[in-house]
Amino acid sequence: MSFSLSAKYDSLSAFLESRAPNEPEFHQAVSEVIDDIKPIIDQSDAYKAANIFERLVEPERMISFQVAWQTDAGEIEVNRGYRVQFNGAIGAYKGGLRFHPTVNPSVLKFLAFEQTFKNALTGLPMGGAKGGSDFDPTGRSEAEIMRFCGAFMQELHRHIGPDIDVPAGDINVGGREIGYLFGAYRRITGHFQGVLTGKDESYAGSAMRTEATGYGVMYFLSDMLEAHDDGLDGKTVIISGAGNVATYAAEKAIALGGKVISLSDSSGFVHDPEGLTQEKIDWVRAHKSKPGASLQPYVDKFGGDWSEGKTPWGLEGDIAAPCATQNELDGDAAKTLVKNGIKAVIEGANMPSTTDAKEVFQSKKVLFAPGKAANAGGVAVSGLEISQNRKRQSDDAEDIDASLRTIMSNIHAACVEEGKRDGHVDYTKGANVAGLRKVADAMVAQGVA
Ligand code: NDP
């Protein structure tokens, strides 16, 4: 496809190399939406006149800061903290914080870019952002994690607020870290306000936020299967990851009649041919809450097989749900899954499938739900947490779960509506186009300074 979105560049790669050199993950995320959004922009005089493309791929603001903190041994360590406020056209910025050694501007820009589309799909007024640090919590004591969170907030508090930017958790930032971050914010500013989501219910958190991403993934999968005259009941599900998204996706898959046969972490994967149960999932959550704990002892406790350093994509199953991290499922893994008869792939993580893997699934007409649609349940319930904080009220779990179910169905319907392609539904196109229209319309309406 010729690239005519910007008169200044001959190709998308020339544009990205010039504007964002050495940012492979960000290039990947933009390249993967361009074929879907380009025709929509090309057809709209208003979008072209507003130069929507160039504005959509440039963060509105990127903050990078020093985080100096003290270890238990009294040594001072220095990490780098970031907040990328990508697009605020439809609401205050919203997106998670990730603590992982792989965090860098490219990873955060890709995540914040995807978050912009995802937040738009929820139908709630939230702009796209992402942040975090290259801090590695593995092997750190609880006191060190608390001090790190305090030091991180020492700078971040200047850039966030209920009407500005409301961060949440992501990899290695769960309920405990959100608590430390919120405590630090409150002590620094003196304000108790809804400046973070994913808070505990004891201090203005929302029911169901912990479960929301994983449950939402399986709600979306149910809708996708139902739209294709199928269902989750009796299906074998291969899940990667062993964190928040993976374990709640597993829990809901089982509740909806599926048999989950794997979980994984950065040290390898468990194959449990008997299928996971609630008891096994509860054990995984408790065990994995210890910093640096490997999933390997699962097999000593419950049986099954452990494969060190491998991913679960060689297993046979009906559904694959990558729920760990970006680019964890490559083209070869996709070919193996297809050979083994996979029916649907649902992304719980953000961009877990490589571009090659997506091409394999698309060419073989495997049902494929991209993360920006399938895992939007987490940020959707974060949006509901913001509303509850505004009202100074708490809704009960049943109501929140019902709202989550409705939001996921609405996202599914939007993907079907916008994703029609050659007699089938291309969910990626649907998510990209539906997200774009909402954000671009708001950008056009607001003009430029
Ligand atoms: P957690 O930190 O709770 O869990 C992450 C899991 O992924 C862990 O099992 C971890 O293993 C594994 N993992 C991390 N990096 C790698 C790697 N390089 N290779 C293999 N395994 C890895 O994070 P979440 O469950 O919250 O997030 C998982 C994914 O879902 C991320 O892509 C995140 O952006 C996305 N997401 C999360 C949302 C949320 O609400 N939490 C919302 C929407 C998307 P180990 O324990 O060994 O590190």
Check whether 5 has a pLDDT greater than 70.
Answer: no
Q: Which atom in ligand 1 lies closest to the alpha carbon of residue 174?
A: 3
As a whole number, mean pLDDT of residues 174-179 equals: 96
As a whole number, mean pLDDT of residues 178-182 equals: 98
86 Cα–ligand 1 center, Å: 22
Q: Are residues 234 and 354 in the same domain?
A: yes
As a whole number, mean pLDDT of residues 415-425 equals: 93
Nearest to 305 by CA among 270, 351, 356: 270
- Residue 325 beta carbon below 6 angstroms from any ligand 1 atom: yes
Q: Which of 374, 396, 424 is the last residue of a domain?
A: 374
Q: Are residues 215 and 179 in the same domain?
A: no
- Residue 324 beta carbon below 6 angstroms from any ligand 1 atom: yes
Domain that holds residue 298: 211-374
Check whether 4 has a pLDDT greater than 60.
Answer: no
- Residue 349 beta carbon below 6 angstroms from any ligand 1 atom: yes
Q: Are residues 139 and 232 in the same domain?
A: no
Q: Are residues 84 and 228 in the same domain?
A: no
Q: Which atom in ligand 1 lies closest to the alpha carbon of residue 111?
A: 34
pLDDT tens across 234-284, in order? 999 999 999 999 999 999 999 999 999 999 999 999 999 999 999 999 999
- Residue 169 beta carbon below 6 angstroms from any ligand 1 atom: yes
Share of the chain above pLDDT 70, in %: 98
Mean pLDDT of the chain: 96
| CA-proximal residue: ligand 1, atom 33 (nearest) | 349
Q: Are residues 77 and 145 in the same domain?
A: yes
The pLDDT-based confidence of 306 (bands split at 50, 70, 90) is: very high
* 111 belongs to a structural domain: yes
Strand ranges in 134-287 using DSSP code E only, listed in sequence order = 165-168, 236-240, 259-265, 268-271
Which pLDDT does position 441 carry in this prediction?
Answer: 98
* pTM listed for this prediction: 0.95
* 425 belongs to a structural domain: no
In the chain, what are the helix, strand and coil shares in percent, each to the nearest 5? 50, 20, 35
Q: Are residues 247 and 169 in the same domain?
A: no
Query: For position 302, which CATH number holds?
Result: 3.40.50.720
As a whole number, mean pLDDT of residues 130-157 equals: 97
As a whole number, mean pLDDT of residues 385-405 equals: 97
Q: Are residues 228 and 155 in the same domain?
A: no
129 Cα–ligand 1 center, Å: 18
As a whole number, mean pLDDT of residues 283-287 equals: 97
Q: Are residues 175 and 261 in the same domain?
A: no
pLDDT tens across 369-382, in order? 999 999 999 999 99
pLDDT tens across 9-46, in order? 788 999 999 999 999 999 999 999 999 999 999 999 99
pLDDT tens across 83-107, in order? 999 999 999 999 999 999 999 999 9
Instruction: Round to whole Å and give the CA distance between 448 and 443.
Output: 8
265 Cα–ligand 1 center, Å: 8
- Please identify every residue annotated as catalytic: 130
Instruction: Round to whole Å and give the CA distance between 56 and 49.
Output: 13
* 53 belongs to a structural domain: no
Helix intervals (H) in 193-308: 209-226, 244-255, 278-288, 297-302
Share of the chain above pLDDT 90, in %: 95
The pLDDT-based confidence of 152 (bands split at 50, 70, 90) is: very high
Which pLDDT does position 209 carry in this prediction?
Answer: 96
Check whether 1 has a pLDDT greater than 50.
Answer: no
Q: Are residues 175 and 273 in the same domain?
A: no
Which pLDDT does position 292 carry in this prediction?
Answer: 85
Pick 12 or 178 by higher pLDDT: 178
Instruction: Round to whole Å and give the CA distance between 104 and 138.
Output: 18
47 Cα–ligand 1 center, Å: 35
Q: Are residues 238 and 325 in the same domain?
A: yes
Query: For position 113, which CATH number holds?
Result: 3.40.50.10860
Q: Are residues 143 and 226 in the same domain?
A: no
* 7 belongs to a structural domain: no
Q: Which of 193, 222, 237 is the last residue of a domain?
A: 193
Q: What are phi and psi of 63, to 5 degrees?
A: -115, 130
As a whole number, mean pLDDT of residues 163-180 equals: 97
Which pLDDT does position 287 carry in this prediction?
Answer: 97
Check whether 182 has a pLDDT greater than 60.
Answer: yes
Check whether 2 has a pLDDT greater than 80.
Answer: no
Give how many domains the chain has, as a whole number: 2
- Residue 170 beta carbon below 6 angstroms from any ligand 1 atom: yes
Q: Are residues 179 and 266 in the same domain?
A: no
